[in-house]
Amino acid sequence: MEQLHYLIAISEEKNITRAAEKLFVSQPALTRYIQKLEKEYGMQLLERSRNSCELTEAGRLYLQEKTKIAAIEQNLRQGLKSINEKRVSVTIGTGPARGSNTLPAATKRFLKKHPNVDIKIYVTGELDLIPALAHGELDMAYGALGQIGDEMETTYVSTELMGILVPRSLGIVPEFFISAPVRLQSSR
């Protein structure tokens, strides 16, 4: 994406010279790039002073929106790659604490058995997982969630009643996440 990292570095360093050093580009080249952007959009993106610079309101909006566009572009490329390679993509939502402790090992084991699956991990608060799952933003949710309505299926994977919620409409039971030797409960 069109040198987005240039503006990110300037925003972080608050100094064009230091940002140029961090990026391994010349300061005049970085300055010309910013001037070109400002001319293209007809707005000042940086508020410059003698020793520092800050993003203007327009600069913050530009950076925010271009970052979203870059994420969309990355997802598009991954999706096209998945189609081309006949891959399946699964998005799993998890809370930051539980997910970071157990989900990586489980997904690693699963991917060894199923290399044609791309797993995307979405980390948010566990209370946000159920609405995200219900709205189709996630394929599965992993955490201390409990049984949620008739449209979801819960498989418990620990004595803490950690579970994975899956919309029944998908018709799958995520057996690959069960790492405990005993399956405590499964409800339909």
Residue 170: pLDDT band with limits 50, 70, 90 = low
Q: Identity (one letter) of the amino acid at 88?
A: V
User: Does the structure show a pLDDT above 50 at 188?
Assistant: no
**What is the tens place of the pLDDT at every residue in 19-61?**
999 889 999 999 999 999 999 999 999 999 888 899 999 999 9
- Residue 139 region by backbone torsions, left for phi larger than 0, else alpha for psi between -120 and 50, else beta: alpha
* pLDDT value of position 5: 85
> For the chain, what percent of residues have pLDDT higher than 70?
73
Q: What is the DSSP string of 140-166?
A: EEEES----TTTEEEEE-STT--EEEE
Mean pLDDT of the chain: 78
Distances (CA, A) of 48 to 6, 11, 32, 33, 36: 16, 12, 14, 15, 16
Q: What is the pLDDT of residue 26?
A: 93
Q: Tell me, what's the pLDDT at 178? A: 42
Residue 181 pLDDT greater than 70, yes or no: no
15-24, 117-126, 127-136: which has the highest mean pLDDT? Answer: 15-24
Mean pLDDT for 51-79 is 87
pLDDT digits (tens, 9 = 90+) for 5-21: 899 889 889 999 999 99
Of residues 59 and 120, more confidence is placed in 59
> Which residue bears the tokens 């919309």?
167
Q: Give the per-residue pLDDT at 177.
A: 45
Residue 183: its pLDDT value, please? 41
pLDDT of residue 168: 67
Residues 15-37: b if buried by 16+ CB within 10 A, e if exposed = bbeebbeebeeeeeebbebbeeb
